[in-house]
Amino acid sequence: MSEGKHDHTHVDPGTQAVSRDHSHAMPATAPHLHRHDGHPPGKVLAIEAGARVAIRLEGVCAGYYGRDVLDEVGFTVERGDFVGIIGPNGSGKTTLLKVIAGLLEPQCGSVEVLGAPPGHSRSIGYVPQAESVNWSFPVSVFDVVLMGVYGKLGLFHNPSEADRTAASAALEEVGMREYAGVQIGELSGGQQQRVFVARSLVQDPELLLLDEPIAGVDATSQHAIFTLLEQRQRKGMTIVATTHDLSCVATWFGKVLCLNHHVIAYGSPSEVLTDETLSATFGSHVLVIPEVHAATRSAQH
Amino acid sequence: MDWLTGPLQLEFMQRALFVSVLIGLACSVVGVYVVLRNLSFIGDGIAHASFAGIVIAYLMKLNLYVGGLIVAVITALGIGAVSRRSQVSMDTAIGVLFTATFALGVLLMSRARNYLVDLQDFLFGNVLAVDARDMALVAALTAAVLLIVAMLYKELLFTTFDPLMAQASGIPTAALGNLLLVMLAVTIIVSLQAAGIVLVAALLVTPAATAFQLTNRFGAMMGISAAVGVGSAVVGLYASYYLNAASGSTIVLTATACFFLASLFSPKRRSLLSQVLQTRRRGVRAQPQSAVRAQQ
């Protein structure tokens, strides 16, 4: 990964290996981090000693064609967290996921993912936004799910019989077994997302990133998707998903990050989902208020 | 059966058939990626840009293919870089730069006093003029292209279908993208012999587009595309012999006929013709979701 234009902030390589090692307590990592000149220090979240960190961002700015979509973004996700990133369209949710996945290099700040710089782990799953997928592509549902093992196989190795069995099992798990031979574009939006989730199950990554997994997805599929993700999270998978559908946030996510170019709030749903933070995130026109604030909602009507 | 075996008594027809079949094979296999990754305009651009290299090599009395290949590979990798960084739309960048390079080739050619016919062969193709060295070159490069596709089949499929997930899970998508562009450049240069700069894009796109309409499987698409590519090469070459016409044009028109036949009889609901009929019959709203997406 080459350096960008700015003087980067880098994580000391000595600390990178530590968070991978589950058996040892992690030393305080804050002293190893130094910030570059362009931004004031002190805004970053405090880093708890001994935390098993999956993702750490500090002072990250990133964007396309020199225009920053993310501005001074910093937060930490611990291993096993289930984090929802909410924010309006164009607030930088997808950009943030791409930075974490190593698909986009930040212009400044430091990023650490699974104890390494982004893009250095094969244990990251990524479910792209439905709009970015070419659904007319000539692949069957089964082929798509089998792609989950491709990253781990390495060059010149073909999927084994065990991999195929795993793909079938994952399709069974998402309730799509009978669609194995169907071309991916013939499914409904919810079914397509379930297939992509099945692919992530086959890949079994340590960190799973999902971009708008429930956009345009019917209630049944939403429930099925979240139930499966929750099961994996209980087994230790770290999951980060973006959404602009607030109705599901309080029910499913352990933590919520409100994003509008910078981090507006980050914490448990009950801490974060207040009228203040939501209007700061979405502007004044929030139409969907989550259930935890049903009282507020009835007062407004 | 004389009409089939007769032309093959001629040595130049044997050579032409050998080269046409290999080119038809290489183009139609690479063409699957060209169609699925929307690279057809890039293919056209590379072909045009390579003309400057061919003319420069001609004026310097160097091997014309080497000259064309160098320029084609540079342009292909240039596009790769531009597509990742530029703010200008790709189509515009290609439209400006490659036609300019082509114009440079035309300028140099027209300045050359001894205006020569063999340069024109590169514009429209003349597969009847191949010699033994050309045959060896085409055979080697076709083998190389097929070998690479076979070895990286899984990775190329993954990055073509879902580049984001592929990259996130550790597949070197940028390197594979560049490799594919270089393969495209090599295939185009090899194919100039048969089709020429103006028609080579059709050899890349038409067989794969035909196959796309007939199957829902990637492997089958590649197989059908190869069959259409090779079949068109054979039929087109015979047609060129009996019609006394340029081989590039007959090969391309044969492939085009396959394409239209495929759209007529495509089992897929989103085929060109059935889409039109469906729209007429039921109105746009009744189209399946996949068809609407496919059009986007």
pLDDT digits (tens, 9 = 90+) for A172-220: 988 899 999 999 999 988 899 999 999 998 988 999 999 998 888 888 8
* Binary contact (A126, B164; C-beta < 8 A): yes
Q: Which residues of chain A have pLDDT under 50?
A: 1-50, 289-301
Strand order of the β-sheet with A108-113 is A67-78, A53-64, A108-113
8 A C-beta contact, residue A82 and residue A229: yes
Cα–Cα dist B202/B208, whole Å: 10
Q: In this complex, which of A128, A135, A138 lies closest to B165 when CB atoms are compared?
A: A128
Q: Which residues of B touch A121 (CB under 8 A)?
A: 170
- Choose among B218, B276, B252, B279: nearest CA to B23: B252
Instruction: Tell whether B170 lies on the interface with A, counting CB pairs under 8 A.
Output: yes
Q: Is B29 helix (H, G, I), strand (E, B) or coil?
A: helix
Q: Is A4 helix (H, G, I), strand (E, B) or coil?
A: coil
* Binary contact (A136, B270; C-beta < 8 A): yes
The predicted pLDDT at position A287 comes to: 53
Residue B253, both tokens: 């028109």
- Determine the residue among B39, B169, B272 to mutate to test chain A binding: the one whose Cβ has the most chain A Cβ atoms within 10 Å: B169
3-state DSSP percent of chain B in helix, strand and coil, to 5: 85, 0, 15
The predicted pLDDT at position B225 comes to: 97
The predicted pLDDT at position A1 comes to: 39
- Determine the residue among A94, A114, A143 to mutate to test chain B binding: the one whose Cβ has the most chain B Cβ atoms within 10 Å: A143
* Binary contact (B166, A139; C-beta < 8 A): no
Give the pairing type, strands A108-113 and A262-267. unpaired
Which residues partner with A256 through β-bridges? Answer: A84, A267
Cα–Cα dist A20/B151, whole Å: 33
Instruction: Tell whether B280 lies on the interface with A, counting CB pairs under 8 A.
Output: no
* Binary contact (B290, A185; C-beta < 8 A): yes
- Choose among A137, A108, A103, A109: nearest CA to A209: A103
* Binary contact (A150, B154; C-beta < 8 A): yes
Cα–Cα dist B142/B137, whole Å: 8
- Determine the residue among A105, A124, A137, A182 to mutate to test chain B binding: the one whose Cβ has the most chain B Cβ atoms within 10 Å: A137
CA closest to A187 among chain B residues? B290
Helices (H), B112-172: 117-124, 132-151, 153-161, 163-168
* Binary contact (B168, A125; C-beta < 8 A): yes
Q: Give A27's DSSP letter.
A: P
Q: Which residues of B touch A150 (CB under 8 A)?
A: 154-155, 158, 166, 169, 171
- Choose among A195, A86, A225, A204: nearest CA to A152: A204
Backbone φ and ψ for A3, nearest 5 degrees, come out as -85, 145
Cα–Cα dist A272/A50, whole Å: 25
* Binary contact (B217, A140; C-beta < 8 A): yes
Which residues partner with A56 through β-bridges? Answer: A76, A112
Q: What is the pLDDT along chain B (296 residues), one digit of tens a residue?
A: 677 777 778 888 889 999 999 999 999 999 999 999 888 888 888 999 998 998 888 888 888 888 999 999 998 888 777 776 655 667 777 788 888 888 988 888 888 766 566 677 788 888 888 888 888 988 998 999 999 999 999 999 999 999 989 988 888 988 999 999 999 999 999 888 788 888 888 999 999 999 999 998 999 999 999 999 999 999 999 999 999 888 888 999 999 999 999 988 877 655 555 555 555 554 444 344 444 444 43
Taking only residues 226 to 255 of chain B, the set having a beta carbon closer than 8 angstroms to any beta carbon of chain A reads none
Length of chain A: 301
* Binary contact (B294, A147; C-beta < 8 A): no
* Binary contact (A134, B289; C-beta < 8 A): no
Helices (H), chain A: 13-16, 93-101, 141-146, 150-153, 161-173, 189-203, 219-234, 249-252, 269-272, 275-282, 294-300
User: How many Cβ atoms sit within 10 Å of the Cβ of residue B232?
Assistant: 30
- Closest chain A C-alpha to B2 CA, distance in angstroms: 41
- Closest chain A C-alpha to B217 CA, distance in angstroms: 5
- Helix H or strand E segment including A215: none
8 A C-beta contact, residue A128 and residue A173: no
Cα–Cα dist A233/B179, whole Å: 38
User: How many Cβ atoms sit within 10 Å of the Cβ of residue A197?
Assistant: 26
CA closest to B35 among chain A residues? A137
* Binary contact (B164, A143; C-beta < 8 A): no
Cα–Cα dist B94/B88, whole Å: 10
Q: Which residues of B touch A155 (CB under 8 A)?
A: 151-152, 155
**Cβ-proximal residues to B10 (8 Å cutoff; 6+ apart), any chain:** none
Q: Is A109 helix (H, G, I), strand (E, B) or coil?
A: strand
- Closest chain A C-alpha to B87 CA, distance in angstroms: 7
Dihedral over Cα of B219, B225, B228, B229: its sign: negative
* Binary contact (B161, A139; C-beta < 8 A): yes
CA separation, residue B2 to residues A86, A183, B210, B241 (Å): 74, 46, 31, 14
Q: In this complex, which of A65, A128, A152 lies closest to B162 when CB atoms are compared?
A: A128
Q: Which residues of A touch B155 (CB under 8 A)?
A: 150, 155
Instruction: Tell whether A133 lies on the interface with B, counting CB pairs under 8 A.
Output: yes
**Cβ-proximal residues to B66 (8 Å cutoff; 6+ apart), any chain:** B57
8 A C-beta contact, residue A109 and residue A73: yes
Q: In this complex, which of B36, B155, B293 lies closest to A135 when CB atoms are compared?
A: B293
Instruction: Tell whether B178 lies on the interface with A, counting CB pairs under 8 A.
Output: no
Taking only residues 180 to 219 of chain B, the set having a beta carbon closer than 8 angstroms to any beta carbon of chain A reads 212, 215-218
Cα–Cα dist A126/A242, whole Å: 12
**Cβ-proximal residues to B167 (8 Å cutoff; 6+ apart), any chain:** A101, A102, A103, A119, A126, B159, B173, B174
Which residues partner with A126 through β-bridges? Answer: A209
Q: Which residues of A touch B36 (CB under 8 A)?
A: 134, 137-138
Instruction: Tell whether B165 lies on the interface with A, counting CB pairs under 8 A.
Output: yes
Taking only residues 20 to 49 of chain A, the set having a beta carbon closer than 8 angstroms to any beta carbon of chain B reads none
pTM of the model: 0.79
Helix axes B173-214, B218-243, angle to 10 degrees: 70
* Binary contact (B290, A135; C-beta < 8 A): yes
* Binary contact (B168, A140; C-beta < 8 A): no
Cα–Cα dist B220/B211, whole Å: 8
* Binary contact (B161, A102; C-beta < 8 A): no
CA closest to A183 among chain B residues? B216
The predicted pLDDT at position B117 comes to: 60
Q: Which residues of B touch A189 (CB under 8 A)?
A: 289
